[in-house]
């Protein structure tokens, strides 16, 4: 095939453009503000548009059917969907085009809900006119779109699970049973994470040590799970299907190649500052993890027998206020709820009273958040057993003072109309929250998104709950958010499921929206490399810039600084952008 005929083949769709425009009512979310019938009518006369329709729910099977039917019977070869966020239904409509036999990338999505009806509720006319302009720009863009093909990447059928707690062990076991080669990396000298110190878990009261032994037994029975203890990740580079992970084990580094990563690095307990609730000024003030250890030891030596009264204080290191609580090293306070503290504390009080029913228990809380199934029963049972609950206001904190061999806890109590209460006890237990483990090396190497709470941020809480935007990287357990034991295990399994789906075929399809360089226009200035946020995505070859597709994220930063216009992003070419801007600027 000659260069000329090849060019004609690539531009086949430009020779007879037939665009179908479909405007969604979104069940009133859009049509209550935007006159969708007027929008569809206006676009029906726009150059290149052959069909323009409006429908109550374009994402429904009936709505998708309209698009498929028009492609098959009317020769539609470009599609513009004006609806809600593309984050919700971009993949939905790509599938629609594929079923109808059309290249799935000959489709453009216009968000007239979030960018139209939802932000212009007070001006329906302006919202309607804005929607017309946005759709016209999309038509101009799709008219200049050639068919694209997904990028194919060979994938190693191996997975690194970073973190050997209950989430990591669950993930590794799930992947190992499916036949994948698994590298389970744990920094401590034994698997299990916090399971090692859990003792009995709520609500089943199963022994943590026994649960751990069963998991270890199952994992050791699989030869394809490689366990790295006392090991830490020093560096990660590469891309989906071909990650390189450098592990340091007892001083000796080792590199492994994997197709995907499952991050289950867990959490650490909040450690109160010295003097916070009298912590570290007396051994009678302990944290909840310390108290669990005491309960465990008490079964053997009765170490809690002489403790006659105990006060529990909630939300220590959780739901903090910058005006009341001391910040961490990053100048932030932990303003999130750690979720599991309330239930864990009530369960431990229940254990204590089962052995020593005469002990006096005082509980100081802001809110009792026993969110799990039937966990509220702990609160009800303890109330009947004589535990006194005091609810302190959000703008104050209980005060703890050492009074000889006793501790005095003072606090306001909302339940008695902010009356000042004071109790003397033998011990104070601080219900400390959780914080994500420090994985700054991994975060920096992979450029992981981190939320304001410092936990790894998922791509979408409902649609992609264990994924991050970086393809091939999955998160599970308390690396993502505070969770209880079962939630962490399920999170690890969910991450494993996603990783196995990705690597099941040995080849990965990536979106084609990546940059490319026209070597004839490139002058080798290297500005694109300096601007690129993804190491290795652009390299110099024979004095010209070259894009590595598997590493490119299609952000367009390189195209923005290319003064010779040598760089284009597939699906977002400079020609397309110019045409869109012109369409929007027209009155």
The string of DSSP codes covering 102-160 is: S-TTSEEEEETIIIIITT-TT-HHHHHHHHHHHHHHHHHHHHTPPP--PEEEE--SEEE
Average pLDDT over residues 40-44: 97
pLDDT band at 15 (very low <50, low <70, confident <90, very high): low
CA gap 253, 53 in Å, rounded: 61
- The half-sphere exposure of 421 on its side-chain side, counting CA atoms within 13 A, is 22
3-state SS, residue 285: strand
Q: What angle do CA 13, 19, 23 make, to 5 degrees?
A: 150
Q: Tell whether the model's pLDDT for residue 35 goes beyond 70.
A: yes
The CATH number of the structural domain formed by 3-149 is 3.40.50
pLDDT (tens digit per residue) in 220-269:
999 999 999 999 999 998 889 999 999 998 888 999 999 999 999 999 99
- Hunting for tokens 């069940």 — which residue is that? 27
Helix or strand or coil: residue 231? strand
Domain at 158-266+437-508, CATH homologous superfamily: FAD/NAD(P)-binding domain (3.50.50.60)
Least confident of 277-291, 386-400, 457-471: 457-471
pLDDT of residue 201: 87
Fold of 270-434: FAD/NAD(P)-binding domain (3.50.50)
Q: Distance (Å, rounded) from C-alpha 437 to C-alpha 479?
A: 7
Q: Which residue has the higher pLDDT, 224 or 470?
A: 224
Work out the angle at residue 533's Cα, subtended by the Cα atoms of residues 529 and 537, and round it to the nearest 5 degrees: 60
For 147, 340, 470, the CA distances from 105, given in Å and listed in that order, are 6, 45, 20
Greatest Cα pair distance in the chain: 95
pLDDT at 187: 96
* More confident site: 299 or 320: 320
Would you place residue 202 in the very low, low, confident or very high pLDDT band (cuts 50, 70, 90)? Answer: confident
The phi, psi pair for 320, rounded to 5°, reads -80, 160
Smallest Cα–Cα separation from 105: which of 571, 578, 580?
Answer: 571
Q: Is the peptide bond before 51 cis (omega within 30 degrees of 0)?
A: no
- Residue 61, pLDDT > 80, answer yes
Q: At a CB cut-off of 8 Å and minimum separation 6, what does 536 contact?
A: 237, 548, 551
In sequence order, what are the residues at sequence separation of 6 or more whose Cβ sits closer than 8 angstroms to the Cβ of residue 488?
Answer: 165, 166, 167, 170, 264, 476, 477, 478
Whose CA is closest to 98, among 22, 150, 135?
A: 150
Closest C-alpha to 409, from 380, 385, 430: 430
Tell me what pLDDT residue 13 has.
46
Q: Which CATH architecture has domain 514-569?
A: 2-Layer Sandwich (3.30)
Give CA–CA dist 224/238, Å, rounded. 23
Query: Which residues of the chain are in CATH 3.50.50.60 domains?
Result: 158-266+437-508, 270-434
- 2 has pLDDT over 60: no
- Every domain of the chain with CATH number 3.30.70.20 lies at 514-569
Distance CA 116, CA 93 (A): 20
- What's the token pair of residue 100? 């109808």
* pLDDT tens per residue across span 270-299: 999 999 999 999 999 999 999 999 999 998
């Amino acid at each position: 095939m000659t260069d000329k005929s090849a060019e004609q083949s690539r531009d086949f769709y430009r020779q007879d453009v037939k665009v179908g425009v479909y405007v969604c009512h979104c069940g009133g979310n859009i049509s209550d503000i935007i006159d969708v019938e007027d929008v569809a009518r206006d676009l029906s006369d726009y150059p290149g548009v052959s069909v323009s329709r409006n429908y109550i729910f374009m994402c429904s099977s009936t709505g998708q059917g309209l698009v498929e039917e028009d492609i098959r019977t009317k020769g539609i070869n470009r599609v513009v969907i004006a609806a809600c966020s593309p984050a919700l239904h971009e993949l939905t409509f790509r599938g629609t085009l594929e079923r109808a036999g059309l290249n799935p990338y000959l489709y453009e999505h216009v968000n007239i809900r979030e960018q139209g009806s939802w932000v212009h509720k007070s001006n329906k006319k302006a919202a309607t006119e804005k929607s017309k302009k946005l759709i016209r720009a999309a038509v101009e863009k799709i008219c200049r779109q050639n068919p694209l093909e997904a990028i194919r990447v060979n994938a190693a059928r191996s997975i690194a699970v970073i973190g050997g707690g209950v989430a990591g062990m669950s993930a590794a076991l799930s992947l190992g049973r499916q036949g994948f080669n698994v590298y389970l990396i744990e920094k401590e000298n034994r698997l299990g994470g916090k399971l090692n110190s859990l003792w009995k878990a709520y609500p089943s009261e199963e022994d943590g040590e026994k649960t751990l032994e069963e998991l270890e037994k199952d994992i050791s029975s699989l030869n394809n799970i490689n366990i790295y203890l006392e090991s830490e990740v020093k560096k990660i580079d590469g891309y989906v299907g071909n990650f390189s992970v450098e592990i340091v084990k007892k001083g000796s580094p080792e590199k492994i190649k994997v197709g995907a990563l499952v991050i289950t690095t867990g959490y650490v307990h909040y450690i109160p500052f010295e003097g916070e609730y009298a912590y570290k000024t007396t051994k009678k003030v302990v944290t909840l993890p310390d108290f669990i250890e005491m309960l465990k030891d008490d079964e053997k030596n009765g170490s809690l027998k002489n403790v006659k009264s105990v006060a529990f204080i909630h939300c220590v290191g959780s739901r903090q206020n910058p005006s009341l609580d001391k910040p961490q090293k990053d100048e932030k306070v932990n303003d999130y709820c750690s979720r599991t503290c309330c239930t864990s504390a009530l369960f431990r009080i229940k254990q204590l009273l089962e052995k020593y029913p005469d002990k006096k228990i005082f509980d100081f809380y802001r809110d009792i958040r026993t969110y799990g199934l039937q966990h509220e029963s702990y609160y009800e049972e303890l109330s009947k057993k004589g535990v006194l609950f005091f609810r302190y206001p959000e703008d104050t904190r209980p005060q703890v003072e050492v009074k000889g061999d006793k501790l005095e806890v003072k606090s306001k109590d909302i339940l008695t109309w902010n009356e000042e209460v004071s109790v003397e006890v033998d011990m104070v237990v601080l219900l400390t929250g959780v914080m994500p483990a420090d994985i700054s090396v991994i975060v920096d190497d992979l450029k992981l998104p981190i939320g304001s709470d410092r936990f790894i941020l998922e791509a979408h809480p409902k649609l992609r709950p264990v994924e991050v935007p970086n393809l091939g990287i999955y998160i599970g357990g308390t690396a993502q958010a505070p969770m209880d034991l079962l939630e962490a295990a399920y999170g690890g399994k969910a991450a494993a499921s996603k990783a196995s789906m990705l690597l099941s075929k040995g080849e990965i399809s990536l979106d084609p929206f990546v940059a490319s360089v026209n070597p004839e226009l490139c002058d080798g200035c290297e500005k694109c490399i300096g601007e690129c946020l993804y190491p290795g995505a652009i390299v110099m070859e024979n004095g010209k810039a070259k894009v590595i597709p598997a590493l490119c994220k299609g952000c367009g930063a390189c195209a923005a600084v290319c003064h010779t216009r040598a760089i284009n992003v597939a699906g977002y070419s400079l020609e397309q952008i110019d045409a869109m801007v012109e369409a929007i600027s027209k009155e």
